Amino acid sequence: MFAELELYGHEQVAFCSDPQVGLRAIIAIHDTTLGPALGGTRMWHYATDAEALTDVLRLSRGMTYKAAVAGLNLGGGKAVIIGDPHTQKTEMLFRSYGRFVETLRGRYITAEDVGTTVRDMEWIRMETRYVTGVAGDHGSGDPSPYTALGVYVGITAAAKTVFGSESLAGKRVAVQGAGNVARNLVTQLRKDGAQVVITDIFEDKARAVCTELGAEYVEPDAIYDIECDIFSPNALGAILNDTTIPRLRCAIVAGGANNQLADEERHARMLIERGILYAPDYVINAGGLINVTSEIEGWSRQQVTRKVESIYDTLLRIFRMASDSRIATIDASNRIAEERIAHVRHIHRTYIGTPAIRNS
């Protein structure tokens, strides 16, 4: 277990158990150099506890890099609650979890994620103030529209790089997932005149989006074989792997799912070899994090929107850096994140304990 923590460079991992309410959760704090670790709480029915641990470690590391590239003064953290989000949610489970978040005294701030909702955040808020994404006058609410906005502008940046135009009219986009992020994304894609093919492990959700927005439905496994311009993963991670990458028939991969590359180095290289441009997931999906940060920084809706739209310019910079340096786009974005963290760490270390200058 400690070897795995050292592999990803984590500061702290907390295991939370309350059998009376059925709570089994893991909170991972990756790096707090830039500020408190902020990241959502995911509820999922993991096959094993080891699978849950690996997921939370990878997700929290991604949050560190996401905040760094987005220019936010936040560190990276994430949490998972092991359980079925459709059958095992209760007020007491989330309130008990909120007590555990409170014990970390602000080192970790939570938010909504896969399998959790604004309602769940409100239950957590009953026990701790270290939660964002709640409803009401002082809350940022559901972050998914802003995540989708970031993915959308990221797709246009990738289209500009590959096709020479950011227009998506007539482009064929294969969307994996039919949750809130995907639905908001498909709405914008259809508005722009894109042809959309969509799937989800929950067929009824995908078909509902198809009916409402005029998309085409395919079975989950068939999405990798769709001939398209853009493949947009917006569900769970590790979907770009040895099996799926050879099946892709697209020029761009750009979507909101976290940890899309099963093996960061090998699978980024496979995409390059196939001539597919990859938009690093933690860069393109930063809109939700930017949105919940507004509760901490006091930003207006207009400021949030402008900052999310800046993902377009960030990705263009990453694509240029990757091309000029002949490296993978994920390596370019990692370099930007690591340099910012290193510079801030230097400033903090330089001025700790420095005596004040006194006027004579």
Lookup: tokens for 54: 């690996």
As to burial, measured by CB atoms within 10 angstroms (0-12 exposed, 13-18 middle, 19+ buried), residue 356 is exposed
Q: Are 35 and 75 in contact (CB under 8 A)?
A: yes
DSSP, collapsed to helix, strand or coil, labels residue 238 as: coil
Is residue 173 within a helix (H) or strand (E), and if so which, with residue range? strand 172-176
Tokens 């085409």 belong to which residue? 216
Q: Is residue 78 annotated as part of the catalytic site, yes or no?
A: yes
Which residue of the set 78, 89, 171, 307 is catalytic? 78
In angstroms, the CA 153 to CA 3 distance is: 38
Residue 248: strand, helix, or coil: coil
Q: Tell me which H or E stretch contains 24.
A: strand 23-31
Give the chain's length: 360
CB atoms within 10 A of CB 50: 11
Other Cβ atoms within 10 Å of 86 Cβ, number: 10
Sign, CA torsion 167/169/174/176: positive
Contact present, 141 and 118 (Cβ < 8 Å): yes
**Alpha-carbon 322 to chain mean position:** 21
Classify residue 110 by its DSSP letter: B
How far apart (Å, rounded) are the C-alpha atoms in residues 100 and 131? 12
Residue with tokens 């792997």: 241
DSSP symbols for 290-332 = HHHHHHHHT--HHHHHHHHHTHHHHHHHHHHHHHHHT--HHHH
Cβ atoms 34, 73 nearer than 8 A: yes
> Percent helix, strand, coil in the chain (nearest 5)?
50, 15, 35
Q: Which residues are catalytic?
A: 78
